[in-house]
Amino acid sequence: MAGSTSVNAQVETVIDLEAIAHNVRVLRAYAGDAAVMAVVKADGYNHGAVEVARAAVAAGAAEIGVTTIDEALQLRAAGLTVPILSWLNGSHADYAAAVTADIEIGVSSVAGLRSVERGAREAGQTATVTLKVDTGLNRNGVPPHELPELLPALRNLVDEQVVRFRAVFSHLARADEPNHPANDRQRDRFLDAIAAAKEHGLEPELVHLANSPATLLRPDLAFDMVRPGIAMYGLNPVPDLVDADLRPAMTFQARVALVKRVAAGEGVSYGHEWVAPHDTTVALIPAGYADGVFRSLGGRFEVLLGGVPRPSVGRICMDQFVVDLGDNAEGVQEGDIAVLFGGGPGEPRAQDWADRLGTIHYEIVCAPHSRVVRRHVGGAELTHPRSAPPPPASTR
């Protein structure tokens, strides 16, 4: 997806950077005394990593988190100077470039530590590393039984000044179920790993565990820093448990390409899965499954067009879909904007699509792609950080 300042795009996502800043301030309040790391992996959850990172830092985020070194280098090249942590890289990654750019590298195995060592020696500089420990998610991260091998190796590299040891972190598997015992088990394993590091003289500068749902629901897991991802983009991962004042930052919209009459009994789109029950008017929206409008949503969602919800009818195609204007077509014309999902009054939500598709809103906002133009608004207001709002009265 290409960034653009055009306001005449046929299909676009509009990203409200003031909403990003607002959400960071809300999350800072939930975090209490803990710092906030803004997670902008996957091109800022498809919102634009550089722009989101700038807005988040201006609103008080202390650090940035990404998965790959390439993502981190992009942020450095754009002028971001705050600490940046990259935590998912294979042996092929350019660790020397990461060390040179002062990228903090998450280490999840002895082999990963050796890759960082090689990169540091190649760069001729000390690498900054953070230990990622597996406390029960069983993805990347050092499992407990490997710590006795990794910690002495890390201690030796610290003594040689090949690496600087900065932090310990882990990731929760069931944070959206705040009372599930797995969360406490992971906390205990996390504390055990920190204690093991200290036994080897590895005193972390900070430790962090909480993702978005834990930030909202488990203040006891905030430690030194929280790492909100989806919540920063205004999408609540636990809407049934906490009514956080989050504002969706993405609006997915398209301009009407055609308005036409369809006679009663005529079918619309491939397979004629929808047949007009009476004479009607339809609008053609030039966005399809090549742009992130899921084909399986055909006939199952609405857009906001002319201030009125309009149902999709017929199959969604690669490039287009159709909505029925019915008897309320007056004033709708080519070039009008149809909001597929957003955060404004009356607009469909990403969560609506997720509910219909049996998925999560993370996937929905990551879907717009291909020809979809991304446009950012609200950034001019983000010159200086703002104070965090008062802490919420309740998190349950």
Domain that holds residue 300: 250-377
Domain stop point among 208, 233, 258: 233
Do 25 and 59 contact (CB within 8 A), yes or no? yes
Q: How many CB atoms sit inside 10 A of residue 345's CB?
A: 7
Q: What is the mean pLDDT of residues 320-335?
A: 95
Q: What is the mean pLDDT of residues 172-184?
A: 98
Let me know whether 227 and 283 are in one domain: no
Supply the pLDDT for residue 129. 98
pTM: 0.94
d(C-alpha 30, C-alpha 222), whole Å: 9
Domain stop point among 233, 267, 302: 233
Supply the pLDDT for residue 8. 77
Is residue 266 a part of any domain in this protein?
yes
CATH code, 327: 2.40.37.10
CATH code, 134: 3.20.20.10
Let me know whether 219 and 256 are in one domain: no
Let me know whether 215 and 90 are in one domain: yes
Let me know whether 197 and 86 are in one domain: yes
Do 250 and 350 contact (CB within 8 A), yes or no? yes
Is residue 392 a part of any domain in this protein?
no
Counted domains in the chain: 2
Let me know whether 69 and 139 are in one domain: yes
Give the neighbor-by-neighbor strand order of the sheet with 302-305: 2-3, 373-377, 11-16, 250-255, 337-341, 302-305, 308-313, 321-324, 280-285, 258-262
Q: How many CA atoms lie within 13 A of 259 on its CB side?
A: 18
Residues with a known catalytic role:
41, 270
Is residue 127 a part of any domain in this protein?
yes
Is residue 387 a part of any domain in this protein?
no
Does the annotation place 139 within a ligand binding site? yes
Let me know whether 26 and 58 are in one domain: yes
Let me know whether 64 and 167 are in one domain: yes
Is residue 303 a part of any domain in this protein?
yes
Per-residue pLDDT tens for 27-68? 999 999 999 999 999 999 999 999 999 999 999 999 999 999
Q: At what angle do helices 181-199 and 147-159 cross, to 10 degrees?
A: 40
Is residue 383 a part of any domain in this protein?
no
Domain stop point among 233, 263, 289: 233
Let me know whether 225 and 283 are in one domain: no
Per-residue pLDDT tens for 181-214? 999 999 999 999 999 999 999 999 999 999 999 9
In the predicted model, is pLDDT for residue 113 greater than 50?
Answer: yes
Give the helix/strand (H/E) hosting 41.
Answer: helix 41-46
Let me know whether 46 and 175 are in one domain: yes
Does the annotation place 227 within a ligand binding site? no
Supply the pLDDT for residue 393. 45
d(C-alpha 263, C-alpha 278), whole Å: 7
d(C-alpha 174, C-alpha 120), whole Å: 36
d(C-alpha 267, C-alpha 272), whole Å: 4
Per-residue pLDDT tens for 285-312? 999 999 999 999 999 999 999 999 999 9
pLDDT confidence bin for 370, thresholds 50/70/90: confident
Is residue 240 a part of any domain in this protein?
no
Is residue 390 a part of any domain in this protein?
no
Let me know whether 175 and 308 are in one domain: no
